[in-house]
Structure 1
Amino acid sequence: MGRYRIRVATGSWVLSGSFNRVQLWLVGARGEAELEMQLRPTTGQVEEFEHDVPDDLGPLQFVKLRKHHSLVDDAWFCDRITVRGPGASAEEAAFPCYRWVQGEGVLTLPEGTARLAGTNTLDVFQKHREKELEERQQIYCWATWKEGLPLSIAAGSKDDLPLNMRFHEAKRLDYEWTLMAGIMEIVFKYVSTLLSSWNKLEDFNQIFWGPKTALTEKVHRCWQDDELFGYQFLNGANPMLLRRSTSLPSRLVLPSGMEELQAQLEKELQKGSLFEADFILLDGIPANVIRGEKQYLAAPLVMLKVEPSGKLLPMVIQIQPPNPSSPTPPLFLPSDPPLAWLLAKTWVRSSDFQLHELQYHVLNNHLLAEVIAVATMRCLPGLHPLFKLLIPHTRYTMEINARARSSLISDGGIFDKTGSTGGGALVQLLRRAMAQLTYHSLCPPDDLADRGLLGIPSALYAHDALRLWEIIARYVEGIVHLFYPGDDVVRGDPELQAWCREITEVGLCQAQDRGFPVSFQSRAQLCHFLTMCIFTCSAQHGAINQGQYDWYAWVPNTPCSMRMPPPTTKEDVTMATVMGSLPDVQQSCVQMAITWLLSRPHADMVPLGHHKEEYFSGPEPKAVLRQFQMDLDKLEREIVARNEQLDLPYEYLKPSRIENSITS
């Protein structure tokens, strides 16, 4: 007879416990024992008890559990179960769960040591993983949201999602209360302006109340400055478009009389200090119609220079591409009349809003992360080391995307009601962006090198992104090398190879022609891909998501739409032209509220590297995770020290501000 000590941990959020009774079994290599004691799990509690088992069970392999109910199936969120066997020297075995238990079926939890797939069909762990994947592939199915875009989870709304992908109750309440507060703010701001004028820039102050940050105030004060305009391409909400020029763009048309400007551009080009931001992806996209009023889009080209001080300053703006059937569009210069130059910059910022939100935020972060999450659930069983590595980086992603598809980017959703790329234009833009989405562009060492942004002291996003990539890469390599002693083991892992194909060929719709792998041939190749996955689902989303309210709360800095066509002359631009171009009161109120909702801090935020769940068992993976946390803490201190020396700190890639997964 042996005495087993069992600890059962229940989730700590509201409604995690259950009034239903739970029955447990211990399954070892030499036998199985049903435990007589039944428990009623309590929220946030670890319940401990001991049980004598008459037979020697041998090394524990599984814990089985069944939740009984009579009238009400009261779901229970089980964190993990640990069991210590007989004898003073017995080691504790962990059985991670981290899921909802419902119904009266038997749930089998394997001992948590990570294992690769084997070839022995009699192996109990091999049978378990095959059955688990078969069941998961029935639950996690693909669907097409829009043709030409990445596949998504098959769920018409958040209520159709698998229960284990849903927000926990505290998250749901926080999200929905904040949404309600945002709606009320929109109503109050709109009503408060009904009897007021709306014909000068200062009138935006009437709705510029509510939550503030130091940066929103800075933008409010300095948004018209060329220095802040340029800074945003390096370190603003969208640092993904700027690139160093290798030649003068062919679409830049310099009419006669601008020889001096051409000489200046060529001089900066020779020095390597000429940069460009090209919004050509927007060319030809049909603009939205909002409440019967036509909106407008443009495809600007901006040429900028980096001064020795590190400031990035605009040199010339071409708002529209040349059109053979119409006169050459005017070029706008810093020396132009102030309102004309301001309007040209505003057109650039509005165009940046469209690409930032749709190409770089929705597509490159949210939709890609969902593909990774669904493929992981379909192809990697819970025993696989890479499931354990990736699963913390998929938390809440499916629900936040399902909510976005039903309200934010849906037909008749918020984008349709406020943005110039609403009304169907957003899908066209996403399809264009999807056709250009390359594996290379998702990996900062490659992307920043391609864009010529390495080694620029004032490029703070670039610096921090590279440091985070290196830290994540070391973490990934540490885990991969524990379980894959050589390249041959990588090539011989059928679950891993199926996961790779599921992402590239299925979820991303045959993306191998854009550099995504269809198989892994080496540990190095696998580590690079995994680093991309984790970076995309954490750090990159932090850089793209957190700055929305900072930079967009003062609407004139980055308008969600433009209500007049681009100017064709410089001399006729008046304040009426500027105000007539900017969003109206209702659009502006929505822009402020939604960007706050999307980028605000969350009460249940889990910082990068600080997992609430313990999926790995054994000291080696835990040591790798501890080193990852130490590396992140070191980077945090470096960024804090650097920011203390800056007039405009860059904080979006501070590890403490980066969430483990895409949750908003």
Structure 2
Amino acid sequence: MQHQQQHRAQSRQSTINGEIVVVQSHEQPGSGKSASLRLYSCAEVDPKTGKGKMSSQANLKCGKTETSNGEKTRTYHVKFYVESSFGIPGAFVIRNQGKHRFFLQSASFETHSNQIIQFDCHSWVYPSQKTKKFDRIFFSNTKYLPNQTPQGLMKLRNKELISLRGDGSGERKEWDRIYDYDYYNDLGNPDKGPEHQRPVLGGSELHPYPRRGRTGRPPSNADPLTESRPHTTNLDIYVPLDERFSPKKQSEFTTNSIQAALWFLIREVKFVMQKDSNHFESFDEIHDMFSDNQNQVIEGSLEEKLKAMVPNDLFKDITHAIKTPLKFPVPQMIAENEFAWKDDEEFGRQMLAGINPARIRSLEVFPPQSKNGMASSIEPSHIEHNLEGMTLAQAMNNWRIFILDHHDYLIPFLRKINTEDVRTYASRTLLFLKSDATLKPIAIELSFPVLAEGQVSWVYTPARQGEAAALWHYAKAHVAVNDTVYHQLVSHWLHTHAVVEPFIIATRRQLSGMHPIHWLLDPHFKDTMHVNALARSMLINSGGILEKTLFSAELSMELSAELYKEWRFQQGLLPNSHILIFRGMAIEDPDPDNPTGVQLLFQDYPYGSDGLEIWSAIQAWVTDFCMLFYTDDESVRSDEEIQAWWSEIRNVGHGDKSSETWWYDMTSREDLIKALTTLIWIASALHASVNFGQYAYAGYPLNRPTLCRKFIPEEGTFEYAEFLKDPDKYYLNMLPERVEMTLGIAVAEAVSRHTSDEVYLGQRSSSLWINNEEVSHKFEKFNQELQNIEKRIKEKNTNPELNNRRGRAEIPYMLLYPDTSNVESRGGITGKGIPNSISI
């Protein structure tokens, strides 16, 4: 009888075999041992808990280690015993009973009916003694809208979201997975001295700003409104553990950053010690910075200087990293033509194909007007002789005059910015669109404020020789300085890094990992919160790299906050907004066969031309994806997670903008598609266009200087006599000093570098896929269109009639080249490739 009962019990049971893949780290080669798992049924509900029934427990014991692309993984095989009615596992819970964290890459389970259920994990799992009652839950690659969630997973879905939101209290620990918002109240360090006091950004009319991820650190001693700094190194700052770099990227990022900075730093500290000078004496000295690729040796007084400059716990990494021979490429700006940066046409071309290509606009009113009604000092006589025989009225009517405007937003800041060490103007640059579609600068107005409301201005026009040519060259340098600071603080940091972070936080808090839109957006958020946290620690903080290298110095982030007042989410909507039409770079196109709905004023606008193609591909992919899950507008309105997500973005994440009327209503599929397309464009293509060309263009500091130390000399002054004596020396003394300049180069090199684990637009990070064949088919269609775009970009770059695609510097425009090739390991400074996310 007992034997028969056992036989019947066994017949009601079945087995599920599993495969668990863990990434091995150098510190914990046995990662994953001592962990245990249990599966949750999708449909079979446990009446006691209201959750899916659970399987037996399986432990990770023995595993097989493999190495691929320089990364070691350990695969564990496990077996679960379940009732025959258990059905398909929809989630699993894992408990780490060891002493060390490990990185869980993926899991897959095969049911008794040979059905394979896959889980794409890519997450750290911390010891349960640290996480206490919160075991890690992972959901399968099958995605559901909230009202379609299987019964066994409904409570788990809600429980997981609640745990991710936290309660808004306490200091976050390394092992936490909690997403919450905070102001930018961690940029200052008043405990270090009053000179490190910085205003809180966000939550006020004076300094509005997007929210960042909350760390919960206590307030500083000197100012209760300012969050205290971490007690450890600047590389150790809290971000939710799923947002942290993978082990491979963490190692690569640290090594690259140290090598890039130290190669220049050691070289220049040596030079200053030898020469007792912090100034460049000639252009040749600047060129020589890119020729010394030998090993550096840290010894003697140089060792003492470096120890004083970096944290003690990093010095060991420094001495190890510097033993490797370093080879920095010659920046593309001077690789083919070392004098191209001086050329007027190249100066104009970079406004269309450089790293800040979305600031230039068509001039609608002459002379240019300030917001306060103050007219420009540029007169018709300054420019009419440079219009190819056209009158000013004809040129204006034919959309042939453009402006790069860095005037209105800078004027209020210049009284504080201009010190003994910094001399900055607010600039307006007029350019003429020539018959060959190249832009020729025809006038530069430089201004700074005087008295209460007034300003004084100077106008410079092109000249080919003599003193006038040198002064014109100086004027272009001051414009480049304005454009560089705007690029770094606004086009790059604010308009990509900062504005995207609230979307990431809201997605994690309000969209379950089971939600299809969460799956769609997830690759476009990879590493962004970690990168932003590092930026707050080293780049944009008081005494950080940007304050040391930009003319805006300690006012940098206040300037960024001022320009956030102008930000609109639709600015990222490439065709129909600020990016093209609002700036007069395109007009509406009623042709139904044109998916963008716009037509460029002239086709030889590389950023606009390639950008519209990438935008259309993203929009088509997002449309195809959303149509698979949302049958009509009502299905969007009834999606409680999407509605909560959008409300939180608008009212909390970008809460200082909540009252503005330009937000989408999120009541239709069209609203959702536009919002998702815009977000993906910002995180991928827009960021790529302003980031990965930095070494090509700004790696040569004379092309894009970060500050000026002298005004342009005026006749009758001592400075003018100094200028006449040696124009080149005056120019070099006008630019940043040696250490500042080399630090800027090192940063440009570091941020332009792709890591070897980068994942590009049209790709996914693993072979594991959403459990939906139609999605796979639509994604392949997206990838194929990106490959077609690559072919068209190559053709455009070789078209001799498109002069702005290469320019005098012979730099082909590749910043919006998707690079969908299946190369397993890339990395380095490529000048091409659109990563899925803001990952550097």
TM over 0.5: yes
The one-letter amino acid of 1:100's match is W
Q: Which deviates further from its counterpart, 108-117 or 207-216? A: 207-216
Written as runs of structure 1 = structure 2, the 5 A alignment for 1:645-656 is: 645=799, 647=806, 648=810, 649-656=812-819
Matched, 1:490 2:628: no
The CA deviation at 1:605 is: 1.4
| Cα deviations by residue, 1:228-286 (Å, 9 ceiling, x for unpaired) | 00001000010011011122112322459658469854332122111111002222214
Correspondence for 2:444 among 298, 304, 317: 317
The one-letter amino acid of 1:4's match is I
Correspondence for 1:159 among 226, 233, 237: 237
In 2, are the aligned partners of 1:548 and 1:596 still within 8 Å (CA)?
A: yes
The CA deviation at 1:550 is: 1.1
**What residue in structure 2 maps to residue 44 of structure 1?**
73
Q: What stretches of structure 2 of length at least 5 have no aligned partner?
A: 1-12, 45-52, 66-71, 129-133, 167-177, 185-200, 203-207, 216-228, 231-235, 292-327, 370-374, 587-599, 800-804, 820-832
| Cα deviations by residue, 1:118-173 (Å, 9 ceiling, x for unpaired) | 399x9332211211111111111111112321110113664322222111222122
Query: Among the aligned pairs, what percent are the same residue?
Result: 24
**Alpha carbon RMSD of aligned pairs, Å?**
2.8
**What residue in structure 2 maps to residue 94 of structure 1?**
118
Matched, 1:358 2:489: yes
Provide the C-alpha distance between the structure 2 equivalents of 1:627 and 1:256, rounded to a whole number of angstroms: 52
Matched, 1:278 2:405: yes
Provide the C-alpha distance between the structure 1 equivalents of 2:251 and 2:445, rounded to a whole number of angstroms: 46
The one-letter amino acid of 1:315's match is I
The CA deviation at 1:17 is: 6.0
**What residue in structure 2 maps to residue 307 of structure 1?**
434
| TM-score normalised by the chain length of structure 1 | 0.92
Q: Which deviates further from its counterpart, 331-340 or 554-563? A: 331-340
In 2, are the aligned partners of 1:288 and 1:419 still within 8 Å (CA)?
A: no
In 1, are the aligned partners of 2:415 and 2:449 still within 8 Å (CA)?
A: no
Matched, 1:588 2:610: no
**What residue in structure 2 maps to residue 150 of structure 1?**
210
In 2, are the aligned partners of 1:232 and 1:239 still within 8 Å (CA)?
A: yes
Correspondence for 1:471 among 593, 614, 617: 617
Provide the C-alpha distance between the structure 2 equivalents of 1:326 and 1:566, rounded to a whole number of angstroms: 20
Distance 1:37 1:350, change over 3 A: closer
The one-letter amino acid of 2:813's match is Y
**What residue in structure 1 maps to residue 424 of structure 2?**
297
SS of residue paired to 1:485: coil
Distance 1:519 1:214, change over 3 A: same
Written as runs of structure 1 = structure 2, the 5 A alignment for 1:8-157 is: 8-11=20-23, 18-28=31-41, 29-30=43-44, 31-36=53-58, 38-40=60-62, 43-48=72-77, 53=82, 55-69=84-98, 72=99, 74-87=100-113, 90-104=114-128, 106-118=135-147, 123-138=151-166, 139-145=178-184, 146-147=201-202, 148-155=208-215
| Cα deviations by residue, 1:67-119 (Å, 9 ceiling, x for unpaired) | 322xx2x22222332222223xx432223322122223543333332111139
The CA deviation at 1:400 is: 0.8
Aligned length: 656
Distance 1:392 1:205, change over 3 A: same
**What residue in structure 2 maps to residue 433 of structure 1?**
563
Q: Which deviates further from its counterpart, 37-46 or 482-491? A: 37-46
Matched, 1:660 2:827: no
In 2, are the aligned partners of 1:442 and 1:536 still within 8 Å (CA)?
A: yes
Q: Which deviates further from its counterpart, 377-386 or 265-274? A: 265-274
Matched, 1:191 2:319: no
Distance 1:303 1:580, change over 3 A: same
**What residue in structure 2 maps to residue 253 of structure 1?**
377
Matched, 1:602 2:602: no
Distance 1:363 1:55, change over 3 A: same
The one-letter amino acid of 1:475's match is W
Written as runs of structure 1 = structure 2, the 5 A alignment for 1:222-621 is: 222-248=340-366, 249-250=368-369, 251-254=375-378, 258=382, 260=384, 264-280=391-407, 281-286=409-414, 293-320=420-447, 329-335=457-463, 337-423=468-554, 425-446=555-576, 447-454=579-586, 455=600, 456-514=602-660, 516-517=662-663, 519-568=665-714, 572=720, 573-574=723-724, 575=727, 576-613=729-766, 614=768, 616-621=770-775
Distance 1:551 1:569, change over 3 A: farther
Distance 1:95 1:175, change over 3 A: closer
Provide the C-alpha distance between the structure 2 equivalents of 1:305 and 1:390, rounded to a whole number of angstroms: 41
The CA deviation at 1:644 is: 3.2
In 2, are the aligned partners of 1:461 and 1:653 still within 8 Å (CA)?
A: yes
In 2, are the aligned partners of 1:288 and 1:421 still within 8 Å (CA)?
A: no
In 2, are the aligned partners of 1:472 and 1:531 still within 8 Å (CA)?
A: yes
The one-letter amino acid of 2:583's match is R
The CA deviation at 1:531 is: 0.7
SS of residue paired to 1:34: coil
The CA deviation at 1:477 is: 1.0
Distance 1:583 1:22, change over 3 A: same
Correspondence for 1:628 among 782, 804, 809: 782
Structure with greater helix share of residues: 1
Distance 1:36 1:275, change over 3 A: closer
Provide the C-alpha distance between the structure 1 equivalents of 2:756 and 2:673, rounded to a whole number of angstroms: 32
